[in-house]
Amino acid sequence: MNRNKGKLIVLTGPSGVGKGTLLQSLLDRHPELYFSISVTTRLPRMGEIEGKNYYFVDQPRFQQMIANHELLEWAEYAGNYYGTPRKPVEERISQGCWVILEIEVAGARQIAQTFPEALRIFILPPSVEILEQRIRNRALDAEAAIEKRLLHAEKEIIAAQEFDVQIVNDDFAETLEKIEAQIFAPVMMVGT
Ligand code: 5GP
């Protein structure tokens, strides 16, 4: 299998669609994929670890990172800022690694400009109603934050067609297989 060439993979879609769980399974099954740890001004949730889930920073530090062009993309989401540190991603790609970002839609749009060769995968919920249920059942956030996420999610779903691939996350195992097919199929074809 030829994996000498670096590659950028973007997993996007609305909050609550299951991107995080899908990403975790992908990383477990393919340890060669390098997950880009984002920077955020959001406070850590219970169990989240600095440098594993996110780098947690304050707003002035985030603004400074924007000003210094330290972020490959960034966005404001539900009252907080999120961004991808540029250097580790560029370094890994130049070393031939396959780097994966799990980001919201506005950031994924920016990647189309800065990294047009990236593979951008959009995960869709089976329906808006199911997405709402999932966001509420997670109960990770206060009601006001949930409302913001829901409003945002509806706008994000409309953007799905802008991306290279759209996959509906109905059955988890099937969704995972479809993502893997997108990421690995071209390489497998070259090898056969
Ligand atoms: P959460 O607060 O639930 O961890 O994340 C909220 C949203 O921000 C999710 O849709 C997640 O994919 C997105 N996100 C996480 N990191 C980044 C990032 O570096 N850039 C952008 N644009 N979005 C991100």
pLDDT at residue 151 in the model: 86
Distances, alpha carbon 124 to alpha carbons 57, 132, 136, 146, in Å: 30, 13, 17, 18
List pocket residues of ligand 1, CB cut-off 6 Å.
15, 19, 38, 42, 73, 75, 77, 82-84, 102-104, 106-107
pLDDT at residue 182 in the model: 96
pLDDT at residue 135 in the model: 82
pLDDT tens digits for 114-129?
999 999 999 999 998 9
CATH of 7-189, one of 3.30.420.40, 3.40.50.300, 3.90.226.10, 1.10.10.10: 3.40.50.300
DSSP annotation of 162 reads: G
How far is residue 59's CA from residue 115's CA, in Å, rounded to a whole number? 26
In 3D space, the residue among 60, 35, 40 whose CA is nearest the CA of residue 50 turns out to be 40
Distance 82 CA to ligand 1 centre (A): 6
- The pTM of this model reads 0.90
Query: Residue ranges of the chain with pLDDT lower than 50?
Result: 1-3, 190-192
Domain boundaries, the chain: 7-189
Look up tokens 């997405």; give the residue: 131
Distance 3 CA to ligand 1 centre (A): 27
Q: Is 137 helix (H, G, I), strand (E, B) or coil?
A: helix
Beta bridge partners of residue 124, listed in sequence order: 168
Mutating to test ligand 1, I would choose from 46, 56, 72, 103 the residue with most ligand atoms within 8 A of its C-beta, which is 103
Which stretch of DSSP H or E encloses residue 83? strand 80-85
How far is residue 145's CA from residue 22's CA, in Å, rounded to a whole number? 23
Nearest CA owner, ligand 1 atom 6: 15
Nearest CA owner, ligand 1 atom 21: 103
pLDDT at residue 155 in the model: 87
